[in-house]
Structure 1
Amino acid sequence: MNARFEQLLHGLIGLDAESVGQVVIERAVRQRVAALGCANEDAYWLKVHNSASEQQALVEAVVVPETWFFRYPESFAALVKLACERSAQLAGARPLRILSLPCS
């Protein structure tokens, strides 16, 4: 696989190819080559390099398509309770800060 696709994805979304594996990127490129009827990866490169919509299609072929962020409502109920308690403890001295580390 040509590293240019990895570099493109890194530039678009900050993707580290090692985090998803080179195989995932290779598969996504093959899928997009087939979907567009390109003769080869070089022909696809010309399309993806010059098309924002195709860049988005490639990104979507690589990333996890869904998340279960809200799968445990109890977690959010606990967060609300804790946030209310901490906010009361701060008594307006400073804003309550919450760090969210999403992942898919």
Structure 2
Amino acid sequence: MSDTSTFFDLLAAGPRRQVLLALRGSDSLRVPDELVGERPADRPVDGESGARSHSGSGVDDVRLYHVHLPKLEAAGVVEWNRERRTVTRGPAFAAVEPGLDLLAENAEKLPDAAF
């Protein structure tokens, strides 16, 4: 990660914040099956990832898969294994972790929509 502006750009979208904050407390997250088109959207997703369920709007799911995860991967903060459907911490995750810790530790002082 090259600068503060890049850090804030990564945090600008709620789905990216959710992924990064979830990785703070976990080594990996499972990408729900409906994002790769193998599970009906109305079938519930188990909570094994610890992240929010992605059974909401299909548009949000498509954007996570085609916009947000690729952006996080390009920045090096996550590694996304599409075959295994997992997201893990990338080599640049350590550069954003102090900022994520600051957000999480001050969550009560931030607007509800921040997370």
Considering the TM-score relative to the shorter chain, is it more than 0.5?
no
More helix by share: 1
| TM-score normalised by structure 1 residue count | 0.29
TM-score (ref. length: structure 2)? 0.27
| Higher-Rg member (1/2) | 1
Instruction: Indicate the structure with greater strand content.
Output: 2
Q: Which has the higher contact order (CA 8 A, sep 6+)?
A: 2
